[in-house]
Amino acid sequence: MSPIKKSGAAAALAAHLSYQAGPDELRGRVIAITGAGDGIGQAVALAAAAHGAELVLIGRSVSKLEAVHARIAALNKAEASIAPLDLERAVARDYDQLADALQRRYGRLDGLLHNAAILGVLSPIEQYDVPTWCRVLHVNLTAAFALTQVLLPLLRSAPDASIVFTSSGAGRHASAYWGAYTVSKFGVEALMGILAEELEHAGTPRVNALNPGPVRTRLRRQAFPAEDITRLAAPEDIVQPYLWLLGPASRGVNGQSLDCQAKR
């Protein structure tokens, strides 16, 4: 595969900003999403299902996953399955069981969206609570590494698989008080870059990072409690770049750090 490089391909890489997925764009693709029960993960899961994907809904709150599953079933487009996994507590056996279950049910994986994350606290490094630091790094970064590792054989079994890491503005620019969250998102960007280079020769899976930008969710409210959230994009407003990266339209794109919302 020859990945689109940042230089000289700006137009190609801006394609995700104006993309509108066709009705059956993701038909036949099996796509796993972490944190699929709420916020952006939920919106992407519903949109991907509406465009024909078979979803694997991964998350820790089973009742939320069941609610998303019911909404997908009501679409009557494709089937979904629920995979309860608490990324804070999961151990090797849990990851192996998930991979085995997906192998038995689907035999491959066409897409993996690492979306689940926690904010932790906003605090100066000097006072940053160490257990919170470890929790944030574990959920946002180490769990994504472990899940990628265990699912790579399934991703390799698909002809055009795509791994999408969810980044953040905080993962590209370090600011005071953002502590473990920023460090985890810088780590996510690094993990994406390493993996993209390691897998480049094989052509599949391709690996990219996507920054949703400011979006009206629980995590955003936690970070900016006094903000007027009505001015922010809703999760369903920013799903198209995710569909672009997870689907055939972005074939050949590898190792890129992209944004869902155009810079103002």
Residues annotated as part of the active site: 181
Return d(Cα 131, Cα 111) in angstroms, integer.
Answer: 32
Return d(Cα 137, Cα 118) in angstroms, integer.
Answer: 9
Report if residue 195 touches ligand NAP, rule: CB under 6 A. no
Strand-strand pairing, 111-114 and 257-259:
unpaired
Report if residue 25 touches ligand NAP, rule: CB under 6 A. no
Secondary structure (H, E, C), 115-137: CCCCCCCCCCHHHCCHHHHHHHH
Cα–Cα distance list, 247 to 8, 26, 28, 195 (Å): 23, 6, 10, 19
Q: Which of 52, 111, 205, 214 binds ligand NAP (CB under 6 A)?
A: 214
Return d(Cα 77, Cα 87) in angstroms, integer.
Answer: 29
Closest distance between ligand NAP and the C-beta of residue 220, in Å? 4
Report if residue 148 touches ligand NAP, rule: CB under 6 A. no
Closest distance between ligand NAP and the C-beta of residue 54, in Å? 19
Residues 218-237 that bind ligand NAP (CB under 6 A): 218-220
Report if residue 208 touches ligand NAP, rule: CB under 6 A. no
Q: Cβ–Cβ contacts within 10 Å for residue 31, how many?
A: 29
* DSSP 8-state code for residue 141: I
Place of tokens 């005071």: 176
Shorter beta-carbon distance to ligand NAP: residue 9 or 219: 219
Residue 205, preceding peptide bond in cis (omega within 30° of 0): yes
Report if residue 139 touches ligand NAP, rule: CB under 6 A. yes
Closest distance between ligand NAP and the C-beta of residue 97, in Å? 15
**Which residue has the CB atom at the shortest distance from ligand NAP?**
39
Report if residue 257 touches ligand NAP, rule: CB under 6 A. no
User: Segment near ligand NAP (CB under 6 A), from 81-89, 124-132, 146-154, 195-203?
Assistant: 81-89
The token duo for 263 is 């810079």
Report if residue 41 touches ligand NAP, rule: CB under 6 A. yes
Closest distance between ligand NAP and the C-beta of residue 27, in Å? 25
Shorter beta-carbon distance to ligand NAP: residue 3 or 35: 35
Q: Per-residue string for binding with ligand NAP, 50-79, x by CB under 6 A? A: ---------xxx--x---------------
| Strand arrangement of the beta sheet that strand 30-34 belongs to | 80-84, 54-59, 30-34, 111-114, 162-166, 206-211, 257-259
Q: Phi then psi for 34, rounded to 5 degrees?
A: -90, 150
Kindly list the residues in this chain that would bind ligand NAP in the complex (CB under 6 A): 34-35, 37-41, 59-61, 64, 86-88, 115-118, 139, 166, 168, 211-212, 214-215, 217-220
